[in-house]
Amino acid sequence: MSRRKLVYFILFNFLLTSLVSCKIPKDPQNSWNKAKENELIVGVVANPPFTAVTNENFTGSEIELIRNFARENHLKVNFIEDNESNLIKKLQDYKVSVVIGGFDKKSVWKDKAGLSKTYDDKHVLLLPKGENELLIHLESYIYKINK
């Protein structure tokens, strides 16, 4: 085998191995599939005008953002109200998929949670750290509504 063919052979095998071993996007907790098959569980921190809870009725701009995202993607949504600390713990334990409550991109939780891109140049949604397919769908939706 000539040197040139050997180089091409090695390069081809490297690329093939790289492509086969990667699943992009990685979604180790199957967040997107779980949301599609069951429901999207959203933790809510009451923080008007972004989120408000009255008699178990959820309102606010971020509630509407999530409802519209869910409607477009044929997802059932389950909102759960709690305080920030408890919801971040539930997010880390994958018991909720998204946490909302008027968080900005400088949130004190940025070390414990992943941040979506901003939906209004300042505010973000919190998701489990690391890349996941749900994040990609949410950010695609945010991009689309901001066009």
C-alpha span between 112 and 114 (Å, rounded): 7
Asked if 114 and 127 count as a contact pair (C-beta separation under 8 A), the reply is: yes
Residue range 93-137, pLDDT digits in tens? 999 999 999 999 999 999 999 999 999 999 999 999 886 899 999
HSE at residue 49, side-chain half, CA atoms within 13 A, is: 1
Asked if 25 and 127 count as a contact pair (C-beta separation under 8 A), the reply is: no
DSSP three-state, residue 48 = coil
Q: Which long-range contacts (CB under 8 A, 24 or more apart) does 53-57 make?
A: 53/81
Question: What pLDDT does 7 receive?
Answer: 62
What size, in residues, is the chain?
Answer: 147
Q: Is the pLDDT of residue 9 over 80?
A: no
Q: Is the pLDDT of residue 6 over 80?
A: no
Fold (CATH) for 26-145: D-Maltodextrin-Binding Protein; domain 2 (3.40.190)
Question: What pLDDT does 82 receive?
Answer: 97
Report domain extents, the chain. 26-145
Arithmetic mean of pLDDT, 74-91: 97
Concatenated DSSP letters for 68-83? HHHHHTT--EEEEE--
